[in-house]
Amino acid sequence: MALQAGIVGLPNVGKSTLFNAVSNSAKAQASNYRFCTIEPNVGLVDVPDARLNKLAELVIPNRIVPTQIEIVDIAGLVRGASKGEGLGNQFLGNIREVDAIIHVIRCFEDDNVLRDEGAINPISDKEIIDTELQLKDLDSVERKIGRVEKAARTDPKMKAELDVLVQCKNHLQQGKSIRSLDLSKEEKTAIADMFLLTEKPVLYVANVDEPSMHTGNKYSEALAKAAKEEGAQIIIMNNNIEAQIAEMEDPADRALFMEEYKMTEPALNRLITSAYKLLNLYTYFTAGVQEVRAWTIHEGWKAPQAAGVIHTDFEKGFIKAEVIAYNDFVQYGSEAAAREVGKLRIEGKEYVVKDGDIMHFRFNV
């Protein structure tokens, strides 16, 4: 589906290190100087899902195929980016293209890692990025207001659009992001074409030092409080440790390394899963001897749309879907057993797919 989550933050906070840890298909240069990343790096990331592994245990397929999302490593923003500082226009343009934001914030002290903003202050760092995004959005909103004002005098539809734009302008001028503005679905259509930066959902990553990996520290606690106030999630992790885990190909070595750090799983798993949910994505499965596979859809999609993710012909010629709930499949151990006890349902075009459904589509083209 090519949905993207973009990694943003100030320079030298651990963005590229995080990207390298999560990405299966690309690696970014991570160095201790400003603008080490210029062009955005894009990598595919497998979404960890215990349900996929459980289905594979039951079906014993020839292959297992997880679903994926795209992660984009965007260059560090600096104060004044909205005015073009530090190649700001280019980097803000990169953010405009993603669907959600992973905001990495430094929550550790290390004199060997360069920092332009003085003493460690995650709230100040967060506000620098927020302000630059808000200023860029304010510029976009004011420009559109200038374009629609005249037409709004005689056109009721344009008048309604102008009213929404004015709401956005006032909100941004108060130092608030558009995602915190309570707009209806209809009102959001007035700003949909602008792809506003502060409308995108955000997930915060507190990059802490090793001693703070499990407990956090005063910096991550301050960030967690700020995130809670805006209804956002926060993941606490040490990006360097996560990158080391990701580089280990031998599962036994990885397990020993995590045991040494008292980790039951990489924090990256929580990050990737949270980013996936941030995009309002669901997973359904197909399960057969050839493969057990996870497929990505949007929350609220109906069966024909879900079928179209496999192939457009499946959607065009959709007849019906055979559906087994994940818990029923696991309880009875196979499709045949679930069918025998009446847990396989036949659903039509109006069926809204649920997260975890195991599905088989019938179609005719």
- Is 262 assigned a ligand-binding role in the annotation? no
Rg (CA), the chain: 23
Q: Which amino acid is at 87?
A: L
Under 8 Å between Cβ of 321 and 340: no
9 φψ region: left (φ > 0), alpha (ψ -120 to 50), beta (else):
left
Contact criterion met (CB below 8 Å) for 264 and 46: no
| Cα distance between residue 58 and residue 47, in whole Å | 20
Alpha carbons 103 and 69: distance in angstroms, whole number: 17
Is 15 annotated in some ligand binding site?
yes
Is 113 annotated to bind ligand?
Answer: no
Residues 6+ apart with CB under 8 A from 303: 318, 320, 321, 347, 348, 349, 350, 351, 352, 353, 359, 361
16 is in an annotated binding site: yes
Kindly tell me the burial class for residue 21, based on how many C-beta atoms sit within 10 Å of its own C-beta (0-12, 13-18, 19 or more): buried
Retrieve residue 151's tokens: 């037409």
Q: Which residues are annotated as a binding site for ATP?
A: 12-17
- Binding-site annotation: residue ranges: 12-17
